[in-house]
Amino acid sequence: MKIYDYEGFPNPARVRMAIAEKNLGDKVEFVHVDVPAGEHKKPEFLAKNPSGVVPVLELSDGTIVTECTAITEYLDHLSGETELTGRTGKERAVTHMMQRRAEARLLDAVADYFHFATPGLGPEIESYQNDDWGKRRREQAIEGMRYFDAILAEQDYVAGDRFSMADITVIAGLGFADFAEVAIPEECTHLKAWRERVTSRPALAA
């Protein structure tokens, strides 16, 4: 299978973390998409993903899967052990709920700040800017950090007692926040301790 992405960007990083956790590195061919040069907005790439974003998974039979959550579902099911997305109906429900919160309250909020209230990926790509909305999303990202700090004061991982794709989304959100210079509030000690712990996991540290 092929993954079209740009190494180091937050959403590609989510899928790369899932690949590392599932030990699937030798089954994937990465295809570099030059996002800063706008390659993801060209017709050839839009034919694969009309949303014009990376990552994209392409299977050997030509099936295209976009959206990190959907790609992670596919990768997680390859082994028959769906530990990242949940093993029971209840685990799957809670994992999807928390991962969606991680997108809406943190990762996508930082992304909106980056794209709308900073120069983002540059004038060629950022065709729409909205400083007020971008700054509001920055505040929401910080509120999101406080929300996850409170969650992690009560439990070991974002979706309960095991590492899951919800943790991956929060890790990516905090990585994007570092890049966009949105600092974690000083008092969010549980979030900071969790981050130290999960990023030291053998698969992710490697």
Ligand X SMILES: N[C@@H](CCC(=O)N[C@@H](CS)C(=O)NCC(=O)O)C(=O)O
Instruction: Please state, in angstroms and rounded to a whole number, the distance separating the CA atoms of residues 20 and 16.
Output: 6
Q: What share of the chain is helix, strand, coil (3-state, %, to 5)?
A: 60, 10, 35
Cβ-contact 64, 1 below 8 angstroms: no
- Strand (E) or helix (H) holding 30: strand 29-32
- Beta carbon nearer to ligand X, 49 or 149: 49
Q: How far is the CB of 34 from ligand X (least distance, A)?
A: 11
Q: How far is the CB of 153 from ligand X (least distance, A)?
A: 28
In sequence order, the 6+-apart residues with CB closer than 8 A to the CB of 37 are: none
- Strand (E) or helix (H) holding 5: strand 2-5
Q: Which residue is nearest to ligand X (CB)?
A: 53
- Beta carbon nearer to ligand X, 46 or 193: 46
Instruction: Please state, in angstroms and rounded to a whole number, the distance separating the CA atoms of residues 150 and 83.
Output: 24
- Beta carbon nearer to ligand X, 176 or 188: 176
Q: How far is the CB of 107 from ligand X (least distance, A)?
A: 8
Q: How far is the CB of 53 from ligand X (least distance, A)?
A: 3
- Beta carbon nearer to ligand X, 20 or 121: 121
Which positions lie near ligand X, rule CB under 6 A? 9-11, 35, 40, 53-55, 67-68, 121, 125
Instruction: Please state, in angstroms and rounded to a whole number, the distance separating the CA atoms of residues 203 and 206.
Output: 5
- Beta carbon nearer to ligand X, 20 or 125: 125
Q: How far is the CB of 51 from ligand X (least distance, A)?
A: 7
